[in-house]
């Protein structure tokens, strides 16, 4: 009678799925390539001119694309390139980190319109959520002031926080945020903001940002190694962010590796936390600027940490190249650009791997965003991607 619940099957699709996909494909093409004419779009997407015209008309009516000046290029009727309308959609991104939370508002093309941050006390999530809701409310007010259409066009709230998610019986050691994990955060924030919420770990958020706005734009296979308080890998596999069965894919910080006989998680050696420890800095204070200053003054302890961390990072790059076979690995992090550049340089030469091939169009390892706001940006990019990027799941019918 109700044993049909046990039937495992994928979802079917219908014409609306078709249309939804095609609209997303067009928006994606405009995002990656900039303005394109309808004829260009038809060729690039394998759709007919007529279909593209219909879809573009819809998108223009919805305020997501707009025509630019007519372009004459050679023989034939001049073309009308269309481009994304930045004000076509907005999203709020929220980063929850150990000691700080950041909220950000972006538009459809990724312009950052509002930023705000607040300290998080160690009182745990109950008080933390109050702070966060206040922060988000402020950001929304500011956004609304700048862009009156924003509230109507808010596509959601993206949340990024350190993983791993859903551990049972996790020790609440300083590396994890177990009390936050146990708290019904998504439900609370969804109720408190009235927005659709999505969750990623911080490395995934960073990869999302790199894909929408950074060096991974247009790449379908990329791994973003994110060095934050911990270290993790955000995975772009087959054109989509991959999160694994429980949202924990890419948690490379927890990978054990041999360290002179003992097995240590990578996170304990290559992460900002390990740097803070090495420097004797209190992470709860303004660690970013403390490190920034030491880097600028070229403190020898920075070099010590870099050479140790680079050794481990070299191994991590080798590992993700070997296991994921990406087009490129992107190193990003919430530390100062100088520090990240030095770390990148110290990681070279990379270990030999399958990725070592002639005529690579992109480098094996490249620097990505180095900005404390990168994760919040990626968090904000998530709802935009969910609403506007081509994905398999967007084609399928919803249950019910």
Partner DNA sequence: GGATTAAGTCAATACGTTTGACTTAATAAG
Partner DNA sequence: CTTATTAAGTCAAACGTATTGACTTAATCC
Residues that bind DNA (CB under 7 A): 1, 12, 14-16, 18-19, 22, 37-40, 47-51, 53-55, 70, 72, 74-80, 397
Smallest separation (angstroms) from a copy of itself to the CB of 81: 12
Which position among 246, 285, 293, 304 is part of the footprint of a copy of itself (CB under 8 A)?
A: 246
Give the separation between CA 167 and CA 246, rounded to whole angstroms: 10
Which of residues 83, 116, 133, 254 is near a copy of itself by CB under 8 A?
254
State the binding partner of 184 from DNA, a copy of itself, none, CB within 5 to 8 A by kind. Answer: none
Please report whether residue 182 would count as binding a copy of itself according to CB under 8 A: no
- How far apart (Å, rounded) are the C-alpha atoms in residues 215 and 162? 22
Taking CB under 8 A as the binding criterion, the range among 120-128, 179-187, 253-261, 380-388 that sits at the site for a copy of itself is 253-261
Q: How far apart are the C-alpha atoms of 278 and 138, rounded to whole Å?
A: 37
* Pair 51, 22: CB distance under 8 Å: yes
Tokens matching residue 155: 């596509």
Using rule CB under 8 A, residue 29 touches a copy of itself: yes
Looking at 111-119, 192-200, 238-246, 277-285, which segment touches a copy of itself (CB under 8 A)? 238-246
Query: Quick one: which of 158, 198, 160 has its CA closest to 177?
Result: 160
Decide if residue 77 touches a copy of itself (CB under 8 A): no
Q: Can you list the alpha helix ranges (DSSP code H) found in the chain?
A: 15-33, 38-45, 49-61, 125-146, 178-182, 185-193, 202-213, 272-279, 287-296, 300-324, 337-347, 374-388, 392-395
224 within 8 A of 210, measured Cβ to Cβ: yes
DSSP characters over 328-372: EEEEEESS-HHHHHHHHHHHPSPPP-TT--TT-SS-SEEEEEEST
* Cα within 13 Å of Cα(194), Cβ side: 5
CB of 20 to DNA, least distance (A): 8
- Rounded to whole angstroms, the Cα distance separating 316 from 323 reads 11
Choosing from 22, 181, 336, 370, the residue that interacts with a copy of itself (CB under 8 A) is 22
Between 93 and 368, whose beta carbon lies closer to a copy of itself?
368
Residue placing its CB nearer to a copy of itself in the complex, 174 or 220: 220
**Rounded to whole angstroms, how far apart are CA atoms 251 and 204?**
10
Smallest gap from Cβ 68 to DNA, in A, equals 10
Q: Which does 152 bind (CB under 5 to 8 A by kind): DNA, a copy of itself, none?
A: none
Min dist CB 357 to a copy of itself, Å, is 6
Considering only residues 260 to 289 of the shown chain, the ones binding a copy of itself according to CB under 8 A are 263
- Per the listing, tokens 């990003």 go with 332
Contact track, a copy of itself, 124-163, x by CB under 8 A: ----------------------------------------
Q: Which stretch binds a copy of itself (CB under 8 A): 95-103, 122-130, 314-322, 366-374?
A: 314-322
């Amino acid at each position: 009678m109700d044993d049909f619940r046990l039937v495992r099957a994928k979802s079917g699709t219908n014409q609306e799925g078709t249309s939804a996909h095609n609209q997303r494909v067009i928006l994606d093409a405009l995002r990656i390539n900039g303005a394109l004419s309808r004829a260009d779009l038809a060729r690039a997407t394998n759709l007919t001119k007529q279909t593209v015209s219909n879809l573009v008309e819809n998108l223009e009516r919805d305020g997501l694309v707009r025509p630019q000046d007519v372009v004459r290029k050679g023989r034939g009727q001049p073309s009308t390139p269309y481009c994304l309308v930045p004000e076509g959609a907005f999203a709020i991104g929220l980063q929850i980190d150990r000691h700080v939370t950041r909220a950000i508002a972006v538009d459809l093309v990724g312009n950052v319109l509002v930023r705000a941050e607040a300290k998080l006390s160690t009182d745990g999530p109950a008080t933390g959520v109050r702070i966060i809701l206040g922060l988000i409310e402020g950001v929304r007010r500011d956004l609304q002031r700048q862009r009156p259409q924003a509230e109507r066009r808010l596509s959601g709230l993206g949340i990024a926080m350190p993983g791993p998610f859903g551990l049972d019986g996790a020790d609440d050691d300083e590396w994890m945020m177990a009390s936050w994990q146990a708290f019904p955060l998504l439900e609370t924030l969804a109720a408190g903001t009235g927005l659709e919420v999505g969750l990623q770990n911080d490395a995934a958020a960073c990869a999302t940002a790199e894909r929408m706005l950074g060096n991974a734009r247009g790449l379908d296979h990329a791994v973003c190694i994110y060095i934050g308080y911990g270290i993790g890998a955000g995975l772009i596999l087959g054109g989509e962010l991959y999160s694994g069965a429980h949202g924990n894919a890419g948690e490379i910080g927890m990978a054990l590796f041999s360290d002179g006989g003992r097995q240590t998680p990578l996170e304990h050696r290559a992460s900002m936390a390990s740097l803070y420890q090495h420097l004797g800095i209190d992470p709860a204070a303004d660690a970013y600027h403390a490190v920034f200053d030491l880097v600028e003054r070229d403190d020898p302890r920075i070099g010590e940490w870099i050479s140790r961390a680079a050794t481990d990072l070299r191994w991590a790059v080798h590992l993700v190249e070997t296991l994921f076979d990406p087009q490129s690995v992107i190193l990003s992090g919430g530390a100062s650009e100088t520090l990240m550049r030095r770390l990148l340089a110290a990681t070279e030469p990379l270990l030999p791997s399958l990725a070592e091939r002639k005529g690579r169009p992109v480098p094996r390892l490249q620097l990505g965003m180095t900005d404390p706001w990168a994760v919040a940006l990626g968090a904000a990019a998530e709802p935009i991607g969910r609403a506007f990027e081509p994905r398999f799941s967007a084609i399928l019918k919803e249950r019910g």
